[in-house]
Structure 1
């Protein structure tokens, strides 16, 4: 950090102290952070061994540690940094895949200081941890053409030459590139010098061009600066998501490297304080997230705090937290008051979430090819009793008329015919090209139904369809794709059915309800399979979790001849009862797709999209579901 960064004045130190202990907006992400950091553990034993394939992983960032290494003043204390390194090594729960230091490893650039720094980093080397470092203004002077320094001799690219993540360095050794594997893909991280020459910029640009499909994270020492001075926490006077701006050198980095390289989606720098973040649009019109992480002005020089970027590719979010492993490792009874205050920083500039649609953001340089449609013949597995799909109809958006037929592609004769509630609009049912990404047919039907008033169109098997009499004594698998629209309303659309077996139960519970139905419940939009087995006079009910609107879902019901399980997206739900359930009772009446029956009459029609539906007379393993087959 330079001695003066010229940030504007702001609210008082009293305001800063008042807010330092508040959770603020960051409290919302606490539940999604790792169990490891929540318990305060500081690391573990054993060699570092992250999972490169799982959808959740962590990038650890270590900002300026300069006040721990001031050899010319005989002030060296490596223990905080080493404790943070032990935290990373024992990070199985966090799945830390890479550690990046942001520069100013030392206060004075002295050889004695770097000797101590190098010894601390030996701990990472001994455990095979992938990491990067870069030079800050307290480590070096001049730009990346400066030649030999204590930094380069101790922390230069020779340290990485045997690391599987080291990709390249520039001619001077001050700029390095690292490729790590996480979330089932490769990521490029650039560790760029405090001051880059034209040669350095050309090198970095070429590295990106040499890896045209990799998302890129830029780490450097000086890029953005807070709009506030170090007496103020930014959220008190402005938006915590836009409280930083480019520094003078940052403007050069933006103009010469970041703006024109769409692969760069995240940058993190130290040097300045307080922490902050902003988002800028690059030349392609896409977001680039620019963050400051620096705690050298905090107690114990920041104690080698870690900024943890928890990537969650399944949830399309990066959850960010800031922890101090050195303080977390201390005996709580012996922690000083300031150590206790700094265990975990919870203000909105230190604990927050960043929603990122990774597939969409990276589509310009690494598009994910859509899964090709699969022929019906491939889906008609042994035991298939019915298979309905909707890719043989009209143009997307055109209506499906009453009396039109959707063929049963299993060849078993269980064709569907369109029926409608009297007075329903002509477009109450329409063809659609919308579909689940894992769906065999790239098409669906759009239902515009409801119950208040009753309206809409649905499909029904014929009166003599073989499926009507099937009782599934040996087990079954029933699968369907569905999407609930944003305008779904519980008062109008609750208890709508994807699939219903007609016929009044006439047994215990409610004798007017149908024999079987895959329904969407009220309010929470949980999928429910309620059915009357042959084995008892009361129904069995499976319950799934709430389904988000405007998202495609695959639901499967699997019975092994004794018990029934519901799966959502190939995952078993919690509401699977242990009740004995043999087969499904039948009165020989038709099945409905998109219609719900009560007291012998249709009383509700589906609202949303229904894709492929398949019925098989045996239990299928998850790998043979339509989303996988």
Structure 2
């Protein structure tokens, strides 16, 4: 049943009912001698994804949601942190018509209701039926607005801070008291009418003695640098109508624009108005539970802004990632705003001072017992071969070559087969403005990319583009991905990327026309686009769009958080046919918006894969403005341990030794393209002669996983010890990333017998031991050794009088190094 909608008209005399006679406030100098006078205001930015994915993602995975943990933490710590009030700045839900989202929001805010923590909540653009800029609150069908069903005026009235509402019920004001001072909070709808502005002006006039905070969803925005704030058009309207001429307004709060920003403007009275934007929705897990605590330090004359997450510290340790930091300290995330409260608001009064530093105490409470995520196991690649070979790889392009311009027709080999890429000729590309220098190879890549080169597409736009393409007959064009897939690539946006020029461009496209695929339903968006593409939105979000194997299910999409320019990202798209989901991972972290009810991928036969542009209406368009690195397509879902960012286990190699005449043969198994080094200098006591022989003995493991090397037994013998043995050291390596050295003892000469000399009459005839013509009847024969089981126990070969090979155990998992003798 809907809650009844109750509204209150403004009564000018209401001020008298909330006014209080307050004791004189001591000066800052006087207060500084004692305890600090301070309180904390809690601010909840856009919670839309927490509400939307509560049932599908958060509750099944964690048993709770970020939204719930935020409000529960505020309720639990309100007394200790002196939190008299909380403000939600809108976009409470993501899909206005989704009942489960409103239910999740209702349950989360109930934590504050139950604890008696008063709050203000307002509607953002996602919370109203019609978010058009031209539609204002008085245009709404109020009986059909879910926001008023879940957060009606009578729910707000339950808190004694409630002051009143406008006739729509969407705009309200509250008055809370902290440290002996009353504050007015004016909460305004996403888009307000002139009538609402008049109502709000009357509220300000009626409470002109109260310092005022205006909260609305859209007041200031953020520039493309992700740091600099600026007033939005709607914010300018509010500035002109309510803020500039009302000196009591000293602070505004809003969300909507992705990131954190601050603007300080001078009002008509020459005083500063601080405007704060906070919106983390495009970050990991839809914002990862970050919210603001604003500590009003009356004593020291400042507002301390902190950004922290009760959600992060609530997660089980095995689910933590490198993104899970309890407290953010970046630009506009942790800072102080000087406010001379005495001069700014001469009417301030105070009673008893609060306890100690509330900001420090809040962080202490939050992080107590939090150990953080386990250290990352990721390691930089030793060279371009240092990656896990994935079974089912259909195409793998490393995009390497001489740095500089990529010529038209220049090839990039497919490491997996015969699906090479080449730069499409400008005349055939469809761009009349593309230039040869628009595509270049650079010596730059993401840290964990095996290939440390990439191809950059410069000066790209919707009309100016170039691209790399597979040939019309490339095998990967018609790849069957019905069993699932993994697509990996490394991407970077150019620092000069601009939304109006480069928004909605694509980096990787399986070209074609989805409208021609059987069963494809008509859609308003991208009906003639390619079957699948990875690109960037106008809000700098990675977007993956695909038509699954069953085209009748329509387009499925994944969206990342906001992507910074000039920064490399590893993107992995993993489609699991069994769970019928596609998950996008950015730098190892899954994005929140998982594509569901999809498996495999539809395609148009004979159409190429292209890198560097979109493909719509049967032609290329909208070039990628940035760089693309190593890219791989696999015909099954891969775990992270098989991604290009994972490193193969270099200790996984085996070896055996054999003697053939004057040659010591080494061979074994290892990782394809790895180097087997036999010159590791870790055995410092080796003779120079041995080192010289080993220096030329490096083997590369072939594609079949085998390797071999040859050493000169005679040269090795020159460095033998008194027992006739030398120690070889072996390691498997990809560049500088190598396994631990393993010692191999090789018997290359007879042991020296005490008393032996080159005196005349001595004989070195085979069989001689104690004297000319004598033999040792007790010496074991080869047959005796085999009968006694010595060979299996010792791992040694016997029977060659001059060349006997003995080895040590190489590596766990491969058992003993095998020895074999080649008789000559």
TM-score interval, smaller chain: 0.3 to 0.5
TM-score (norm 2): 0.35
Structure having greater relative contact order (Cα 8 Å, sep ≥ 6): 1
Compare CA radii of gyration and give the structure with the larger one: 2
